[in-house]
Chains A and B, each alone.
Chain A
Amino acid sequence: MKFSDFVAVEAIRPNVAATTKEGVIREMTQSLVDAGRIAASELESIVKAIMKREDLGSTGIGRGVAVPHTKHPSVNRLIGTVAVSQQGVDFESLDGEPVQLFFLLVSPPDRPGDHLRALENISRQLRDDTFCKTLKEAAGPQDVWRLLEEADAQSIAS
């Protein structure tokens, strides 16, 4: 499950405006609507589902990273996007630190394998300090996209 398989490049937000957990989730979901990847009519339902998942346990898994996600019947394949907050957002993270890097995933209900492999890919890259640093310094969506493509290319090689 390469990044290029599921990240919508037009939805990447290297300088997200929102300063709250729900705000970021809403802004990222809206960016997927704007990118034509999810229907505008499903925005509220998806945001609500993601927030409900957050209630079970924050996806702010520490180290300034969060992976908000949900399954949703309106998508027929895994779709995701990336956002960066320069000032950091309180995400009720497990380590109490603000989050700067967000990977949002919306999966079809019946494909847990795809979801897990996307999480695997994201996690693997986020363990790399250089990856995180470069992501935080990305000036625009294309910089982020290039970084993800490089990560994809390296994982084929390894």
Chain B
Amino acid sequence: MDQTHSRDFIVALEQGLHARPADLFAREAQRWQSRIEVVGNAQRVDGKSILDLLTLAAEAGTRLVVEATGPDAREAIDAIGSLFEQNFATDLAADAAPEQLESEK
């Protein structure tokens, strides 16, 4: 039985939800089975698509509602919630290239 969980977030990024946070959001959303949609600025978009997220043009202070529907909806919302709580600053380490690849260059 699919459940829907949703949570409100305020975009706290100074530059709004631009390419990099949209990428982080979409990647996180893609990890989950549930359908994930984001509502903001009178639009509803697919949270797993960076292009969709960018069309929100969510500037700092925008309220977004994230809805997850599916077997892991609660976990998905929690995971996305962590992204917002850390203001998308989490993955700088993840973006760094592993040492093995560096030595191949």
Closest CB in chain A relative to B16 CB, distance in Å: 5
Asked if B55 and A116 sit within 8 Å, CB to CB, the answer is: no
Q: Shortest distance in angstroms between B22's beta carbon and chain A's nearest beta carbon?
A: 8
Tell which of B19, B59, B92 touches A59, judged by Cβ atoms closer than 8 Å.
Answer: B19
Q: Which of A66-86 contact B (CB under 8 A)?
A: 67, 69
Q: A112-B14, A112-B16, A126-B51 are in contact. Are A119 and B57 (CB under 8 A)?
A: yes
Collect the chain A residues with CB atoms within 8 Å of residue B14's CB: 112
List, sorted by A's number, 18 A–B pairs whose CB atoms are closer than 8 Å: A56-B92, A56-B95, A61-B19, A61-B50, A63-B51, A112-B14, A112-B16, A112-B59, A113-B59, A115-B18, A116-B15, A116-B16, A116-B17, A117-B57, A123-B54, A123-B55, A127-B49, A127-B52
A120 within 8 A of B: yes
Considering residues A55, A123, A124, A126, which has the most beta carbons from chain B within 10 angstroms of its beta carbon?
A123
Given A120-B54, A123-B51, A127-B52, are A115 and B95 also a contact pair (CB < 8 Å)?
no
Chain B residue with Cβ nearest A58: B23
Q: Which of B23, B51, B56, B59 contacts A57 (CB 8 A)?
A: B23
Known: A56-B95, A123-B51. A116 touches B20 (CB 8 A): no
In the complex, what residues of A have CB within 8 A of residue B52's CB? 123, 127
B23 & A94 in contact (Cβ 8 Å cutoff): yes
Which chain B residues lie closer than 8 Å to A108 at the CB level?
none
Chain B residue with Cβ nearest A59: B19
A56 pairs with B18, CB closer than 8 A: no
Q: Is A141 an interface residue (CB 8 A)?
A: no
Category for how many chain B residues contact A: 20 to 34
B interface with A by C-beta (< 8 Å) = 14-20, 23, 27, 49-52, 54-60, 92, 95
Q: Determine whether the beta carbon of B55 is less than 8 Å from that of A56.
A: no
* Separation of A93 and B9 alpha carbons in the complex (Å): 28
For B23, the closest partner residue in chain A by CB is A57
6 additional contacts (CB under 8 A) given A94-B23, A112-B14, A123-B52? A61-B19, A69-B19, A112-B60, A113-B59, A116-B17, A127-B51
B19, B27, B55, B60: which has the most chain A beta carbons within 10 Å? B19
* Nearest Cβ on chain A to B58's Cβ, whole angstroms: 8
| Separation of A117 and B58 alpha carbons in the complex (Å) | 9
